[in-house]
Every structure is written in structure tokens, then in C-alpha cells.
A and B are shown apart, each in its own frame.
Chain A
């Protein structure tokens, strides 16, 4: 085995390990939403993804997510909360509110129609 082959193997394995770590195992940054008011309100920017895509809420208090879709890419037209049976059509460049009432703590996924863009609500 030549030196360049050994280099490619090592570099490749390192790259693969990094991909696995970055996308699967690294800790995602969650945004804790202020829950002192009557409702818990957050703004989620939709552009190639959801920003933020990991939000922490408190159970039992109404949640209002204001989605602002800053693109026309067809993918993100709909946002779906499937365990909650809620769907909203996001008109581009508009604030589209999605109101949720979650009493049971847990993790609630949301995603676009194709499941390409994903986010999660953590209800504590």
C-alpha cells in the first residue's frame, strides 16, 4: 500500500466519522422559549430549514409559533406537526401563526411536506 492510499484511507475514515458525529451524535442547540407570559410565542424562520429548529416549551400553556417563510422553494410550503394533526400552509414572506396546545410533555416533530426540513418541539 502506497503512502497516498494510506492517506486517503485515513482522511476518508476521518471524514466519515466527522459526518456521523456532526449529523447524528453532536448536541444540537435548543432554544428555550420564554414561558412566563400567558402564551409561549416563538418566531421560526423558514429558509432551507427551520431556524430555530429545536425549541423548548413548557407543557400546559398555549404555544404560538409564528412561521415566516423567506423563500418560495416548494419544499417548505407546508409545515406539518403530525403527532398533533396540525398542518399550515406557509405563504411566502408572511407571518403564519400556528397555535398549539400541548399538555403532555414529550418531543413533537414538525417537518415540511416531504420531510426534508425538520424541527422539533421539546415540551417539558
Chain B
């Protein structure tokens, strides 16, 4: 059997009537059709190809292409596109099909290219749904392979163009998704005997020029969302406007309309007929998504919100239409009633609800959009001693990048020349610009404020902090909070259960209900279907999680998963690593005591000058202390270091000794009360050193790992939140206790070897506690992993620390407080949403079923149910968006 290309009838093959076109046989039902075809074969062949997008060469020397067009809104668009394409040379035929949203073009090869046509469509203001695929191809050894692959691909329907490059062993294929897919393209190439590998996965870009690729990609989803919103609003308006007269004529007795509009009149019957017809576009255009969605789900043996709405309005329409056209089949006249108003109102409200939800959801994902928007596009790189602007993707490791004031830093790196203040608030959440000097780390995506500088790229592409952050946030937003698992179980059974409840409601009302029982049964059936809102249930947790995690990212807090978020608000113990967490992690000068006529500056000058020759980290802190006071140092001579004692040297012709008690005793230096004062300093957790100049004790200089400015405050805050605060350190107990006392920690684990930190955390867990561990993420990794929640803090650009559940880019403990508060706020929000959704459905369904009727005579109108349903999911999203305003109650 074959089809007649002219009339479309089935023809028994072989047929008497046939025509041979370039070797292909076309068969016809009759001589008539055969003749028609013979006079203009193109007309019929084209019809065949119009049904799908594609590209092919014909033997007439004419090429044909069919492209999908996005955004065709009106018939007049068709003309615009056709005219724009006709302006091109060599165009034979242009046909824009409004319903299938396809453009069919026939053109002379050589005179115009597909790209020109795509350009023309763009010029007319429309887009073609074209995707570009970059593939690596292996096994090509000659130029002929190129043409072989290109030809094969271009003959594949749906492929617009294929360009294969032998040198780079790659192909760029433009194709129409939906008509052909990556798998088929690959198969095609593999069948020719070549290997295919992904260079970079499919870049779904629209034909828009490569320069703005990234922007386009983000915007496109935004555009689709905007388009959907507009369509929904149009659908809503259509249904809503028509609903007004429908409601008006549905309740003639309510408005006291004249006799001819009252029930039973022939005028009203005509109006009912009109309503029945008018409800068709409302159902199948305004409500088309319900039917499409319901059908798609039905095919997959699943059911969703669309199923419920579609069933509800269909039931209303069928009953009402039967009542309108065949009122006689009802045993009683009062049963022949109509519910067209229900269709109009329910469709209008639910569609409006969907539109509002899109708007609200756009806001929920703002945080991640902001992060994506931070990604720089270009970099000014030094290549061959010349400054060149290149796309950020082309920056390689160790490139020297120049950044001017006001510019965005393109990738992560280390500053090598110049200095500036950089606004890192978008990454760290810290409002004050950070001073950057040589050897400081700069983060891609942050903004340079004051000075120009050069830096060396240390992390590029996917490895930059910003990319990692985006990836982590996306991952967390897609993870599931444990609480959601219960919801999922319910959601799986929800919709069919509602359908069964609706059926039982119908039976109950029909059998036990008052007269007219059929009407009551139908209304309650519809109301039950319409009021159920599986969306609110499904949306409750993920939407809050999305906002909460996004909010965290805005403040430099990266929450790894919903699991972490849920555990973080249940914590009862927090273990803080001392070095680098409570303290700065590097020593600095804290005290100078001077005696015997020396000044503090003398002591600093001489001891710092001696230390110039030493490489000890403590020495460095003394030198930094001197630099801060702008003291010019001398160069020491005769430097000598005695391990376990201290250092000595000649500075400015004076013999300087710098060391511990043993050193002073060895050199017979009289210390007097300095010894007592040194002990006091040591008790405070500091490291004191005696200074003697020319054989006389001149004072003490003390260094210590100083406590971060906000540690005390943060620890107080932890306690306020009811957490037990524990400090863990490798220091001796004296120093540890001294620090603990200063910051207000009650429990200390001192002299703990780094590898034993995890055991200590486990010890606490064995006490039945839910333990958080805060550390630097590198030395403390095992402990972070052992803890219920590991906080890695002060990670800078190393955000992807595996062991941590929550990563803080900043080094302040304040971030931990904020993270815990945010977790609490988010979980509270989730619980509110879930309670709301369960409560709504749990209460709404029985009321809709008419459970209150026997007791109070209350029966819910299906229209009211529609309103409730439409706004329940909007409410959930709106509630989640309240989290965006989350602020710490710190201070």
C-alpha cells in the first residue's frame, strides 16, 4: 500500500497510474490525480517535506530547507518573514506555516546559504530553533573524508549544516532538535567508519553570533519563561472576560432578569448553546495545557494536577452540553442544568495561578542567576608583551592579566604587580572592599575598585571559585532535604487517590444525597477534583531550599545539600579548631615591656633588626610589628641562632640577645621582675621573649596568635543559640585554657594531634550529641568529615572542599552563626510550607466532598475550589520568597 501524493488516498501498489521522478515512483489513485501531479510535481513533493524540518538537495539544482521558527504570534508575522527572505538572491519559494511554526524555503544552491536564511529570519525579528553541536571526530585521514561526512550529515533530515575540520578533527553541526538528535548524528558518523567524541558537550545556543553565547543561554530560559507568562495571561484574560457574561446568564434568578432569560425559556436555551460552544476555546486554548499535560501523563500511566483539572472541566462540559442539547433525556426538568460557568472560572483562575507562580518562582532563583551573571566575559591578557582582550574561555593558566579600576576580575589568581581595593561582596558577602597587595589572592567575578594591577591566573574555567560556587549551589538546590522523602511518598499516591475520593464522593451523593442528587453528585465530584493541589505539596520543600541555599551563597555560605541544611538546625555541640578558626592562625606582636631606661621603640627596633636575619615565623611577626610603627631597621651582623635558647646579633654596634629564660641565665642577665611578668604573658597564651642589650635586660617582647575580632561575639552567639562550644587544639593546656577563657569557651580539648581530632569529634558524638566541627578544611578534613556537619571556613577560592558540608569563603566565625541561623530559618519555612500544603489538602478535600453539608449545610462551590487551588501554590512560593529577606539577628 502507498499513498497518493495528490489526494492522500491509499493506493494499492503497483498502481496503473504512476510517474517516475528521478528514479522515485509516485503512484496515484486515478488518471485525474496523475495529471494534476504531472502539471506541477513540486507542489505535491513540497507538501511531503513540509511536515518535518530538514534540508535536502534536489536534482533540480535547487536546495530546500525547512526551519522551525520561534515566536510566531500572528498571521502577519508570516508575511514579515516571507518578505525578509524573499529579499535574498536565488530564493525560489518561501512558505511560512503559521500552525506548524515552520519556514520552508527553496533556493538556488550557490546563490544563498542557509546561514543567510537564518539571518533573514532573525532580521525579521524571529528566532530559529537551531542548536549547534561540536563534536570531535577521529579517524579522518584525508580531505575526502571531510566531504563524505559533511554530505552524509547534510542529507540527514534536521541537519541544517555540517562543517568538518580536518586539522582540528572536529565538526560543527547545526541541527534542529526534535527532528534529529545527537545520538542519530553520532550514529551517522560512526556508520561511516569514524569515531566520535565530545569536545565540549552540546552547546545549546541559538543562532545569535558566538560573541554573546553565555548571555544568550541564560536569557533564553528567561525568555521562554516570559513567553509562557504572557501566553498564560492571555489565556487567563480570554477565559476571564468570557466568564463575565457566562456567569451573568447562569444565575438569571439571582440578578432578577426578565422572564425571557429565566430557566426554561427558549432565549436562555440559545444562550446555553452559545455558552457550550464558547467553552470549547476556553477548554482547548486557555486550558490546553491541562489536556496536553493530562494526556502525556496518562500515556505514562501517571497522573498530575492537569489530570485533575482536565477531568473536572470535561465532566462539567459533558453534563452541561447534554443538558443543553438533550434536556429530554433527564427524568426531571431540574436535572437539565448547566455548569459552563465552572469551566470558565476554574480555567481562568488556575491559569492565573500558574502565571503568578512563574513570576514568583523567577524571584526564587534570583540568587543563582546573580551568580551566573557575575561570570566575566573577557579578560585583558598580556601576550607577547601586548595587551589583548580575549574571551575568558581562552585564558590559560599562568596568563598575566591586567585589571583596571572598575573592571571585573576575570579568573582566580595571585596578584603580582600593583595594589588595589577589591569589592568581593558578591562572593564573600563582605561589604567592605578588601585591600590587595602582591601575593594576595584575587577571585574571579569580583570588582576591582581603586588601583590597576596585574595578576597571574591560577584557576580558570570550571576550577574558578565562582564556577565551583555555582556548581555547588545548583547541586544543593537540586538535592533533597530528608523531610522531602515523606512528601514524595505521599505525592506518588496523591492524584489517583484524589480521583478515587472524587468517585466515592459522587457515589455517596448520588445514593444518599438530597434531591436533585445527580446535580449534587456532579458538583462535589468536580469540586474534589479541582480543589486538590498536588503542586503545593510538591513545591513546598524544594522552593524553600532553593531560596535558602541561594541566600547562603549571597553571603559567602555554601551549603552542600538539603541534608546539611536540615542537620545544621538540629546541632547541639559545636567544636571549634583553635588555630585559624578562633585565632588568625599566624602570630603577631602583642606586648612590649621596657625596663632599665629603654623605650618600647628601642626594644622593637633592636629585636626586629636581629630577626631580620632569622627565618623564624615568630621573628616575622616582630618585623611586621616594627613595620607597622614605621621603624627603620638596621642590618644585623654576627647573627647566631641557638636552638632551644634564642638568637643574638650585633645591631648598630650593640650586642642584642633575644631569647628565653635559659638564654638569659646562660648570659648572666639580671631579670628582676621581668621573670614574673613573662610568666603572666605566658599564662595569657602568649609567647614572651626576653631582650637584653649590651648585657643589660631591657625588656620583653611578646607575640601570640591573636584572636579574630569577632570570635568572642560569635561564640557568645553560639551559646545563646543553646550550643555547647568546644575548642580543640594541639597547643599545651596552659595556652589553650588561656585562649578559651578569653573567648568564653567552656570545654577544651588540648594537646590533640591533628590526626586525633576526628576521634575527639566521635567521642562527643558517642555522648549522643549532634556535632558540628569548624576548621580550615585541609588539616581538619577528617574531623570535618566525621562531624555531623563540617564547616570549612576561610577557604578563599578553594571552595570545593569535599569534607565539608558547609563552606564559608570568609574566615569569620560570624559566618557559622549566620549559616546556622539561615538553616533554622529555611527549615522553618519548609515546615510552614509543608504544613500549609498538607493542611490545605487535608481540610480542603473533605469540605469539597461535602462532609460539612450534613452538619452545617455548607457546600463548596467548584469555582471557589478553583480559586483556592490556584492560590495555594502561589502562597507556597510567596512564603518561600520571604526567606530572601532573611537577615541575621546578629547585633
B-contacting residues of A (Cβ < 8 Å)?
1, 5, 8-9, 12-13, 15-16, 19-20, 22-24, 26, 28, 41-43, 47-51, 53-54, 66, 68, 70-75, 77-78, 80-83, 85-87, 89, 91-97, 99, 109, 113-119
From B266-274, B295-303, B418-426, B449-457, the one touching the partner chain is B295-303
Q: Can you list 14 A-B pairs with a CB-CB distance of less than 8 A?
A: A12-B506, A48-B296, A66-B181, A68-B177, A72-B225, A80-B542, A85-B475, A85-B478, A87-B475, A94-B204, A96-B204, A115-B487, A115-B542, A116-B538
Tell whether B511 is near chain A: CB-to-CB under 8 Å: yes
Tell whether B629 is near chain A: CB-to-CB under 8 Å: no
Q: In chain B, what residue has the closest Cβ to A17?
A: B500
Tell whether B599 is near chain A: CB-to-CB under 8 Å: no
B224 touches A16 (CB 8 A): no
CA distance A75 to B290 in the complex (A): 12
CA distance A12 to B499 in the complex (A): 11
B231 touches A93 (CB 8 A): no
Report which of B220, B221, B224, B542 forms a contact with A113, defined as CB distance below 8 A: B542
Contact residues of B: prevailing secondary structure: helix
Interface residues of B in 523-555 (CB under 8 A from A): 534-535, 537-539, 542-543
CA distance A13 to B507 in the complex (A): 9
A95 touches B182 (CB 8 A): yes
CA distance A40 to B476 in the complex (A): 26
From B37-45, B488-496, B578-586, the one touching the partner chain is B488-496
CA distance A49 to B304 in the complex (A): 10
B299 touches A51 (CB 8 A): yes
Which residues from A are CB-within-8-Å of B510? Answer: 5, 8, 12
A96 touches B297 (CB 8 A): no
CA distance A84 to B507 in the complex (A): 44
Q: Assuming A8-B506, A77-B225, is B182 touching A66 (CB within 8 A)?
A: yes
In angstroms, how far is the closest chain A Cβ from the Cβ of B183?
A: 5
Report which of B300, B357, B499 forms a contact with A19, defined as CB distance below 8 A: B499
- Which residue, of B292, B477, B507, has the highest number of chain A Cβ atoms within 10 A? B507
In angstroms, how far is the closest chain A Cβ from the Cβ of B274?
A: 30
CA distance A50 to B302 in the complex (A): 11
Tell whether B862 is near chain A: CB-to-CB under 8 Å: no
Nearest 5 pairs of A and B residues by beta carbon: A48-B296, A87-B478, A115-B538, A94-B204, A49-B296
In angstroms, how far is the closest chain A Cβ from the Cβ of B90?
A: 28
Q: In chain A, what residue has the closest Cβ to B474?
A: A87
Report which of A70, A74, A85, A114 forms a contact with B561, defined as CB distance below 8 A: A85
Q: In chain B, what residue has the closest Cβ to A74?
A: B358
Which residues from B are CB-within-8-Å of A83? Answer: 480
B227 touches A72 (CB 8 A): yes
CA distance A68 to B178 in the complex (A): 7
> Inter-chain contact count A-B, CB under 8 Å?
173
CA distance A87 to B297 in the complex (A): 21
B68 touches A93 (CB 8 A): yes
Which residues from A are CB-within-8-Å of B177? Answer: 68, 93-95
Q: Assuming A117-B304, A118-B302, is B228 touching A74 (CB within 8 A)?
A: yes
Report which of A12, A73, A97 forms a contact with B504, defined as CB distance below 8 A: A12
A-contacting residues of B (Cβ < 8 Å)?
68, 70, 129, 131, 133, 177-178, 181-183, 186, 201-202, 204, 217, 220-221, 224-225, 227-228, 231, 289, 292-297, 299-306, 354, 357-358, 361, 474-480, 484, 487-488, 491-493, 495-496, 499-500, 503-504, 506-507, 510-511, 521, 534-535, 537-539, 542-543, 561, 873
Report which of B133, B296, B299, B354 forms a contact with A74, defined as CB distance below 8 A: B354
Report which of A9, A16, A49 forms a contact with B297, defined as CB distance below 8 A: A49
In angstroms, how far is the closest chain B Cβ from the Cβ of A119?
A: 8
Which residues from B are CB-within-8-Å of A92? Answer: 224
Which residues from B are CB-within-8-Å of A99? Answer: 201
Q: In chain A, what residue has the closest Cβ to B205?
A: A94
Contact residues of A: prevailing secondary structure: mixed
Report which of A49, A82, A94, A96 forms a contact with B299, defined as CB distance below 8 A: A49
- 16 other A-B residue contacts (CB within 8 Å) besides A5-B511, A82-B480: A5-B510, A8-B511, A9-B507, A15-B503, A20-B496, A48-B289, A49-B297, A74-B357, A77-B225, A93-B70, A95-B202, A97-B182, A114-B539, A115-B488, A115-B538, A116-B535
Q: Assuming A9-B507, A48-B296, A49-B302, is B181 touching A95 (CB within 8 A)?
A: yes
CA distance A92 to B510 in the complex (A): 46
CA distance A16 to B528 in the complex (A): 14
Which residues from B are CB-within-8-Å of A50? Answer: 300
Report which of B182, B228, B301, B543 forms a contact with A41, defined as CB distance below 8 A: B182
Report which of A48, A91, A97 forms a contact with B217, defined as CB distance below 8 A: A91
Report which of A9, A28, A116 forms a contact with B304, defined as CB distance below 8 A: A116
Which residues from A are CB-within-8-Å of B475? Answer: 85-87
A47 touches B354 (CB 8 A): no
In angstroms, how far is the closest chain A Cβ from the Cβ of B290?
A: 10
Report which of A9, A81, A91, A117 forms a contact with B478, defined as CB distance below 8 A: A81
B204 touches A73 (CB 8 A): no
CA distance A94 to B401 in the complex (A): 35
B300 touches A28 (CB 8 A): yes
CA distance A99 to B201 in the complex (A): 9
B474 touches A51 (CB 8 A): no
B201 touches A20 (CB 8 A): no
A85 touches B479 (CB 8 A): yes
CA distance A48 to B310 in the complex (A): 13
B538 touches A73 (CB 8 A): no
B228 touches A89 (CB 8 A): no
Which residues from A are CB-within-8-Å of B484? Answer: 82
Which residues from B are CB-within-8-Å of A20? Answer: 496, 500
Which residues from A are CB-within-8-Å of B507? Answer: 8-9, 12-13
- Which residue, of A74, A81, A114, has the highest number of chain B Cβ atoms within 10 A? A114
Which residues from B are CB-within-8-Å of A72? Answer: 224-225, 227-228, 231
A48 touches B302 (CB 8 A): no
In angstroms, how far is the closest chain B Cβ from the Cβ of A93?
A: 4
Which residues from A are CB-within-8-Å of B301? Answer: 22-23, 26, 28
Report which of B204, B231, B295, B538 forms a contact with A91, defined as CB distance below 8 A: B204
In angstroms, how far is the closest chain A Cβ from the Cβ of B232?
A: 9
CA distance A113 to B876 in the complex (A): 13
CA distance A71 to B300 in the complex (A): 17
Report which of A8, A49, A70, A109 forms a contact with B178, defined as CB distance below 8 A: A70
Q: Assuming A16-B504, A87-B474, A97-B182, is B227 touching A114 (CB within 8 A)?
A: no
- Which residue, of A23, A43, A82, A118, has the highest number of chain B Cβ atoms within 10 A? A23
CA distance A1 to B201 in the complex (A): 67
CA distance A13 to B493 in the complex (A): 18
Q: In chain A, what residue has the closest Cβ to B70?
A: A93
Q: In chain B, what residue has the closest Cβ to A12?
A: B507
CA distance A95 to B295 in the complex (A): 23
B220 touches A91 (CB 8 A): yes
CA distance A82 to B487 in the complex (A): 14
- Which residue, of A24, A41, A91, A97, has the highest number of chain B Cβ atoms within 10 A? A91
Report which of B293, B495, B499 forms a contact with A48, defined as CB distance below 8 A: B293
CA distance A8 to B503 in the complex (A): 10
B231 touches A23 (CB 8 A): no
Q: In chain A, what residue has the closest Cβ to B877?
A: A114
A49 touches B204 (CB 8 A): no
Which residues from B are CB-within-8-Å of A77? Answer: 221, 224-225
Which residues from A are CB-within-8-Å of B358? Answer: 74
B296 touches A51 (CB 8 A): yes
Which residues from B are CB-within-8-Å of A28? Answer: 300-301
Which residues from A are CB-within-8-Å of B131? Answer: 94-95
Which residues from B are CB-within-8-Å of A89? Answer: 221
CA distance A47 to B354 in the complex (A): 17
Report which of B217, B293, B297, B491 forms a contact with A115, defined as CB distance below 8 A: B491
CA distance A53 to B503 in the complex (A): 28
Q: In chain A, what residue has the closest Cβ to B306?
A: A48
Which residues from A are CB-within-8-Å of B217? Answer: 91
Which residues from A are CB-within-8-Å of B476? Answer: 85
